[in-house]
Amino acid sequence: MPAASDDAARERRPYGPPPRPGPPLLKTLPGRIFLIAGACSFALYGIEQLVPLPVVVEIFRKVVSLACLIGLGWMTTLAFLRSRRAFLWRVRRKLILSYVFLGFVPLVLVLAFVLTGGLLLYMTVAQYVFQEGFADTIETVHQVAETSAIEIGRNPSAIQAAIDRKVANLANRYPRLSMAVVSAPGMPAMPPLASGPWTHETPLASVPAWVTRAGGFAGTIVRHDGATLALVIRAATPTADGRRLVIADLPVDRTIIDRLRDRTGTAMTSIAASGCGAGTTAGPPATRSIWTLFRQTVAFMDCTNWPDGQTGGLSVTLDAPIGRLSNRLASVQSAQIAAMVGESWWTVFLPLLVALGVLFLIIQGSALVMGGLLARSITSAVHELFVGTERVQQGDFAHRIRIESRDQLGDLADSFNRMSASIEHLLHVQREKQRLDDELRIAREIQKSLLPTGPPVVAGLDIADLCEPAREVGGDYYDFFTVGPGQLGVLIADVSGKGTSAALYMAELKGIMLALSHAEPSPRRLLIDVNRRLAGQLDTRSFITMTYLVIDVPRRTLTVARAGHTPLLVVSGGRSEVITPDGMVLGLRIPGAEARFEALLEERTRELAPGDTIVLYTDGITEAMDAGGELFGEAALAHVLASQHGLDAAGIRERVLREVKAFVGDAEPHDDMTMVVLKVTGSDGMGSA
């Protein structure tokens, strides 16, 4: 009933988009919350303009504002969920949204990626340029101390004059450069000498022992400068005789910061140190926001604790506007570029960049217009297809779609028209196929009636049978015949091919066997007579393989003849024996086949003992294949029979079937599986091992 009501509702539904949502969103709970909270917020805002709000009212205003935001978000979500299907029902809107997702969103992601990459590149370049410039300044101070040590080593009597001259020569470049000469640790004490302003601390009178062990020093130390920290570039170099150390100090003051800014485009704004013997804070922290990402960055350097020589970390906040940094970097190659283009590189690059931006906007706008036109053409064809499918659903197979274009959509409309014209034919074919399926099902039932309904009950024998066709109708055949007193004839055959023709030949073979088996106890003579009768009945592409045996229960003998069929297996005493009498297939329609058949056919007789098991089977058992194409094989079958010979006939049959199906797994069966198991029982009716 629900399915029928749904179909009726679908047929009554008119063409077009789904109905609009019911009540307005403002009549819902989130709408009421938004209205009440918005009104309270507006009223409190007006009161706040006149008088200050108490703390309790201010807290209430924040709660109301939060409720207003929650209601707005809730209402927006409900509106989206309710109008999503109505909005996206038209394919045109979906195509436009797909263009946004495929065109605009990737563009935003690319821009975000470029900005992120540019930010990382900017931070790396700014840090590198500053560190290189700062390292050059350290190297300059180190060279000052080193050259002074060399000069003092040459003329030890003029130490003061040497350092005074060095400070005076560098006074314009480094006004606060200070120098000192002290005795090396472990050497005879000498009066310390100093030159320069030494405004950052008192002149050094000695150095720690680690400086001598390190062979000198050149780096950065941190000093307290009131409430903040200050950096000092210090270099200590021993003289040639190792008795004195020349120390050069250069405080990092505004002059040094301005020189670094002019040289690198970056300027120090604040510092913080850790593990340098000067605490962990310094200076006012730099203000970081989204607008300063391309203006400020942080560089990390090493600093040294002067008393013990331990190394700590130093973070320097840099003011490095991207324009100033790029101009500083570009000035390195501006002369070469200007020589090539004949003017400033920026005056060439900027118009080119503007032209590329305008070209990009033109391309983007053209893409939007073309996308809209294409979306219109596509959606018009899709709408025609939609109307056509609705008409076909109502049973109007005469409806045809107008073909206005010769593109893929036009071909699709033409295919739809041809499909509508052929639906009736397809329905007729479906009915015909159903009729054939019914006939095949009836044929299968008839074929099943030709096979034994169950194994016969014979004193002294335990019998079990199996037949599983690969298709609806198979070509395997087995049967039992009473030949004489205490004699049972057993037949198993395989008709070449599958399907209905094999079943018809099987029925013909059954009729011949029923007519001849009672009159002829010899398997060989019987097969010769059967071959003579079948040779003129089968077509040239068909033949039959067959094994026929007669078991004489009182005498406990087995007589068998084989016409090209699979071997016969006899399990006796826990060992499997393969019996393969010579013979060729039945029913061949070639010259001389009948005489050849009679000449090759061989009959064998074997004695039986209690517990012996005889197994007849078709190639569907031994040639069962797994998913990898590997065959089950006769050796595996013989092994299963030998290992399970203690079971009764039905148990042996079930164990063989289980092993074959476990081997095949999920692979499709490709041939019929037929098997007959006969076990000789003792006088008490039970099989002996």
Confidence class for position 282, pLDDT limits 50, 70, 90: very low
Q: What is the pLDDT of residues 521-531, one digit of tens each?
A: 899 999 999 99
685 within some domain: no
Which pLDDT band, with edges at 50, 70 and 90, does 686 fall under?
very low
pLDDT band at 683 (very low <50, low <70, confident <90, very high): low
Q: Is residue 26 located within the same domain as residue 130? A: no
Q: What is the pLDDT of residues 41-79, one digit of tens each?
A: 888 778 877 777 777 777 887 888 888 888 888 878 777
Asked if the structure places residue 110 within a domain, the reply is no
- CB–CB of 531/594 below 8 Å? yes
- Considering its fold, how many domains does the chain have in total? 4
Residue 235 in contact with residue 207, Cβ under 8 Å?
A: no
pLDDT above 70: percentage of residues in the chain: 82
pLDDT at 357: 78
Residue 32's domain spans which residues?
A: 18-89
Tell me: pLDDT of 445 over 90. Answer: no
What integer best gives the mean pLDDT of the chain? 81
3-state DSSP assignment of residue 507: helix
The continuous run of DSSP H or E covering 335 comes out as helix 322-341
Q: How far apart are CA 403 and CA 409, in angstroms?
A: 9
**Same domain assignment for residues 228 and 277:** yes
Token pair belonging to 277: 């013997």
CATH code for position 498: 3.60.40.10
Residue 140: pLDDT over 50: yes
- The model's confidence at residue 397, banded by pLDDT at 50, 70 and 90, is low
Query: Mean per-residue pLDDT for 164-174?
Result: 92
CATH of the domain at 279: 3.30.450
* Nearest one of 144, 158, 308, 157 to 237, comparing CA atoms: 144
Cα 126 to Cα 294: distance, rounded to the nearest angstrom: 10
Look up tokens 């690198």; give the residue: 264
In whole angstroms, give the CA distance from residue 21 to residue 86: 8
Q: Are residue 295 and residue 380 in the same domain, yes or no?
A: no
Is residue 99 included in any domain, yes or no? no
Residue where one domain finishes, among candidates 52, 74, 89: 89
486 and 624: one domain? Answer: yes
**DSSP line for 525-561:** HHHHHHHHHHTTTS-TT--EEEEEEEEETTTTEEEEE
Separation CA 194–CA 164 (nearest Å)? 8
Would you say residue 265 lies in a domain? yes
pLDDT of residue 50: 79
What average pLDDT does this structure show over 568-589? 89
Grade residue 5 by pLDDT with cuts at 50, 70 and 90: very low
Q: How confident is the model at residue 196 (pLDDT cuts 50, 70, 90)?
A: very high
Write b or e for each residue in 168-189: b if 16 or more Cβ atoms lie within 10 A of its Cβ, otherwise e: eebeeebbbbbbbbbbbeeeee
Q: What is the pLDDT of residue 432?
A: 85
Residues 83 and 151 in one domain: no
Are residues 347 and 407 located together in one domain of the fold?
yes
Helix axes 649-664, 634-643, angle to 10 degrees: 140
For residue 26, the model assigns a pLDDT of 61
SS3 178: strand
Residues 484 and 612 in one domain: yes
Mean pLDDT, rounded, for 114-138 = 88
481 inside domain: yes
- Alpha carbon 534 to its chain's center: 61
pLDDT at residue 517 in the model: 84
SS3 category, 493: strand
Lowest mean per-residue pLDDT among 293-302, 328-337, 593-602: 328-337
- Domain end, chosen from 401, 424, 450, is at 450
Q: How far is CA 266 from CA 43, 121, 127, 298, 329, in A?
A: 50, 15, 9, 11, 11
Least confident of 39-53, 74-88, 531-545, 557-571: 74-88
Q: Which of 74-78, 283-287, 453-457, 591-595 has the lowest mean pLDDT?
A: 283-287
Evaluate if residue 438 carries a pLDDT over 80: no
Same domain, 177 and 33: no
Across 190-204, 249-263, 277-291, 550-564, least confident range:
277-291
